[in-house]
Structure 1
């Protein structure tokens, strides 16, 4: 696009235009599917299991271990030999069978004993299945209400314990009592869930409920400008509005307008920021805090280099920012941005496409503005 902004790279497969590992991985998977015509059932199962891993309530290191297990990236004899290392393929714990990931975690006699001791007996038919099927079986067991909560919670730690015990025996030549290992494991599980349990006190809950619906005023000497862009789809106009208030909550100005088609809400919101800043500059405002209830917009305004797709709009905002003595952006809750939201919604809802800039607040929202002013003084 012509302009004063330097050319740059944009990653077409993310919202912000910057590369992320997730979008890169998704693109590779999609490419494999298109090349092969159809992804294999085993690979599809593997992908679904990887998605489940990151939702499992456990330690981050255990989640990473489980991801490596499903990816086949665990250093057992079978995997090492596939890389040309030429090690003895026999399992060194039971001396019975090839040491694969599936064998170590499910088929080895030591693993079977540990699973039995935690009351997750693996049926013989399960043991003969593939690694993906066995992992899916124990993942499903975490939702099996016929088992105790302690057992369901412990399953990720059991897999980790089996692996750690195998390494301890092979490399450190130490074999601890399985009974003791399991006791320590259960204690760790209980402690982890206790530390990660959210139990807000009554006082905390009351404070949160009382504070969530309160509009927070700006610092003395500045004004706070709440903005909103009411975007519905790429084919309709968007309603935009801003409301500027002082530290006592009094409305100094408010404005409304309709902007032409925007491809998404993000662009509409950035254009709303530009419009509101231009208006405030023309009014001679020098110190302002712009409040937005769209988290991604706040992130883009704080770190524009990470949103190259929208660099032209962000560069325009940056240039406007230099014309103010003080300009900050803060994230506003939807609940406390309702005045600006209602004014913006009135554009499409009531067909109010004529723009305006007015002193004070709109009469039809007078009572709500007054109510927020009273609460902000409390």
Structure 2
């Protein structure tokens, strides 16, 4: 081997990248990711969210060099982080106030993305990825209160689509703010012409004025709007230039279209223009910001919220969204007119809602889907309407599923003797 060859080999060996093992939990043991790393998002009522980056072996505490966190009840060396092949663990270092994960005091416990951690009196949310996105001052848009990550995830995308003249569909569960965001987005286009509001969730059947030609269609609860009106709106957009639709749905648009609740032609107007607002359970770092806003609007002192109550509010799923959270806080305040608020009056509201499982197996398992559909039709004596109610599907979805699986529904009904 000559000198030049030896030099090339030496340089290649020196420059060879050291592969970093990524564990199943999604965190990297020894370094931070390019997407912002992982760690804790410190939350509370008296300060905006603050991030603390972590790595394997990091020690958290008021005097720790790796993850310094100050606050009441936090020891100089409070907890230690370790990463193993099966995930990330946090270990309490024999502290007086303890380390709590999801309401459970633990000596050593595994943590996953979204878990609520309490060190002494300091609350935090464990984040496995994109930690840097959580760093930033909270914002307000109308009545919406949100943190830095949520602004980047769904506020900015909606506003950019609307400002560019595109249609947009805002998806989300009840109470997450999709209707409020849709109205704020429609206000951006007020200078372009008339805005016509069509509310599919109204108590009375919505009507469209004959010959209406607005520049902006604000369609609330589009998945509850009759299909003829959906098609009328779609035709209106197709006949005019510069017209856009700002719609909201209570479920993913593709699911609503698959169940027959949204006409395919109407759904096609939002191809690549759908934005989903996550539930409060998926944006726990925002809950203290929302709690503070609710307390100020209802004249409830922030000093009445104990760390234990705030932890319970952050941990809860709130399937009803912000209105359910506000109702619980007002109820707690009414039950305790003075002094610290108690968890007891709202204990029933703090339990997480059950996870809804799909009634039909996934399309990747047609044998199970066929068996489930056959069983439902047999129990319903071949009645598609009854089978649809039992499976939580529309009749149109039943027919499409039967056609996909090769079932002849017309021959399933048994004559009654």
TM-score, normalised relative to structure 2: 0.23
**Structure with more of its chain in strand, by fraction:** 2
- Higher relative contact order (Cα pairs below 8 Å, separated by 6+ residues): 1
TM-score, normalised relative to structure 1: 0.25
**Structure with more of its chain in helix, by fraction:** 1
Name the larger-Rg structure. Answer: 1
